A and B are shown apart, each in its own frame.
Chain A
Amino acid sequence: MGNSTALAMVKEGLPAKIIEIVERSPRRVYVYIAPDEILDAARFMFEQCGGRLATVSGIDTRSGIELVYHWMFPKDHQFIMIKTKVKKPFPEIDSIGRFLPAANWIEREIHDLFGVTFRGHPDFRRLLLADSWPEGVHPYLRDVRFEEFQP
């Protein structure tokens, strides 16, 4: 790791094309990348920069599901958010849970709630929703009509 901060390393060597970088404050940085580069970026953040994946947030927007990977860097007192957006109606992205156990549960949760498929996930079962919950209904999507089905 040397002396350089995580942010400097990301600017220098993130193995993904940075679409936009927003430094809202010294402690909070948002980095936008394309979804197909997420696996390499995550490996870099974990293995090279020594980040801890706090969690992943899914957000349903009009144009797709936004995924925010929150990486915490305790030594640099910094949070770096890797953001990407996957297209609806069949959102898909590479799973980072295949090499990082910390991402295992949250990817399953995002699949339950937002319907994002994580390619190559080691154990892609339901996590949050009940077994009796209907297939294909993802409750955190904005266009779900709860009147139409009985859970």
Chain B
Amino acid sequence: MKKTVLPLGPFHPLLEEAECYKLYVEGETVVDIDMRIGYMHRGIEKLSQSKTFDQVPFNVERICGICSTSHPIAYVNAVEDLAQIEIPERARHIRNIVCELERLESHLLWAGLAGHFIGYDTVFMWAWKYREPILDICELVFGNRNHYAMMKIGGVRRDIKEEDYPAINSMLDTVAAGAELFTGAVMDDPVIHARTKGVGILTKEDAIAYGTVGPTVRGSDIADDIRRDDPYAAYDMVDWNVVTYEGGDVFAKTAVRLLELFESVKIIRESLAKMRPGPIEAEVRTIPRGEGVGHAEAPRGEVFHYVRSDGSSSPVRHKVRAPSYVNIPSFKATCVGETIADVALITAAVDPCYCCTERMAVVDRRTDDVLVTGEELVRVSREKTKRIKADLGEQTPLDKLAHTLERERS
């Protein structure tokens, strides 16, 4: 059969990271995948070397637009490891709260996009409906819906006011109730099962060999979570569980993310309850010579920062490794042998730059003619869901829930 090359990416105005995937396909089946990055190389590491230690959090906060607090916290962890700084307890709890609010927001964003992609627009609108109160709380407490600018070496920049506690708690109630409904519906939905179970399996061996992190590795039933394995902030002071799921398929990764919502809610509640009034930062005068390693569990997995200082006011070397950097190469293990309609979903399950997939085009290798446009591939994926739904012939739990909500509103 004729082998065709199918490029995905590299550019789209909505992307936070641009990448180019080349899928080698025979008919509908993917036989190989090749990836190329660097289209958006911004030289952040080099830039850090020209900034003072204090300015770097601002710089690294802008690496990612969604998990914007993960990079600063990994960086301050690294510098605090370097300079052996102990931070006050209240600051540790506040860090917990910032990180978990971000995780809630990011996981719901992903759930919505994944829903849209397989043709469940209800899921999309619904997940984003519950994401909104979280962002409102972020604005209330940190002053911004994104880029919270809370992290600084030695502590946090802003305190959480006692009068804001009730607002946070009531938001958590709303989100937890929503997540409960949502998770129940998604986990029982036969169409979602048909689309995601057994699709894009990442075996335990592959997950270890590729060094994958975050929900990607936890979906392969490996309990690897930086929050537990190398506790930072106040994760060792609150009671929570590492969520894992068996299977390694898209469904398992979805399940991990959805179940983590509840753990995040639990962590925020507990940190709020345990916080006592006190200082929110330790005094830091100079950063000595030496090196430090810091990492943090971002919504997508481990963010890793390495900082080396020569005793001056700026780092001599600052190495950053984002979670997608190790998760994306695992596509080589998960995509081969799958169909084109599923590949978009598998790549999305890792939660990389999602919009890449909207720029797909099938190209005949001999003539370079574009055979299929990106929108058409989204359509292929959505149609597959429609077919499954039609075969099923009855209302799915998700549809039923959507109808109930519709009735409630009117």
Which residues of A pack against B, CB within 8 Å? 24-25, 27-28, 30, 52-55, 57-60, 68, 70, 72, 74-75, 77-79, 81, 100-102, 104-106, 112, 126-130, 139-140
Contact = CB atoms under 8 A, between A and B. Distances in A.
A68 B321 CA distance: 13
Which of A52, A74, A100 gathers most chain B CB within 10 Å?
A: A52
The 8 closest A-B pairs by CB, nearest first: A102-B211, A128-B38, A57-B319, A74-B229, A55-B321, A59-B317, A57-B306, A54-B304
Interface in B100-158: none
20 contacts: A24-B81, A54-B302, A55-B306, A55-B319, A55-B321, A57-B306, A74-B223, A79-B230, A100-B211, A101-B329, A101-B332, A102-B211, A102-B326, A102-B329, A105-B326, A105-B329, A106-B325, A126-B38, A128-B41, A140-B45
A129 B41 contact: yes
B306 A70 contact: yes
A32 B4 CA distance: 48
Nearest to A130: B38
A105 B325 contact: yes
A101 to B, nearest CB: 5
Contacts of B319: 55, 57-58
Interface string B321-334: 10001100100100
B284 interface: no
Contacts of A130: 38
B240 interface: no
Nearest to B290: A24
Given A57-B317, A79-B230, A100 B209 contact: yes
Given A77-B230, A101-B329, A128-B41, A55 B304 contact: yes
B38 A129 contact: yes
Interface in B296-342: 302, 304, 306, 308, 316-317, 319, 321, 325-326, 329, 332
A117 B247 CA distance: 38
- B43, B291, B304 — which one has the most chain A CB atoms within 10 A of its CB? B291
B317 A77 contact: no
A128 B230 contact: no
Contact of B293 (A28, A59, A74): A28
B359 to A, nearest CB: 19
Give the dominant DSSP class at B's interface.
mixed
Contacts of B41: 128-129
B129 to A, nearest CB: 36
B308 A59 contact: yes
A27 B230 contact: yes
A127 B329 CA distance: 12
Interface in B186-231: 208-211, 223-224, 229-231
Nearest to B230: A77
Given A25-B81, A68-B306, A140-B45, A54 B38 contact: no
B405 interface: no
Nearest to A60: B317
Contacts of B223: 74
Contacts of B43: 139
Nearest to B316: A59
Nearest to B302: A54
B306 A102 contact: no
A96 to B, nearest CB: 12
A74 B224 contact: yes
Contacts of B37: 105, 127-128
B396 to A, nearest CB: 38
A101 B42 CA distance: 25
Given A128-B37, A128-B41, A52 B208 contact: yes
A79 B293 contact: yes
A52 B211 contact: yes
B46 interface: yes
B90 interface: no
A24 B211 CA distance: 25
Contacts of A139: 43, 46
B22 to A, nearest CB: 12
B230 A54 contact: no
B36 interface: yes
A60 B45 CA distance: 13
Contacts of A68: 306
A75 B228 CA distance: 10
- Most chain A CB neighbours (cut-off 10 Å) among B224, B290, B321: B321
Interface in B279-297: 290-293, 295
Contacts of A24: 81, 290
Contacts of A53: 211
Given A102-B211, A140-B45, 10 more contacts: A25-B84, A54-B302, A55-B325, A59-B316, A59-B317, A70-B306, A72-B295, A101-B211, A105-B329, A128-B37
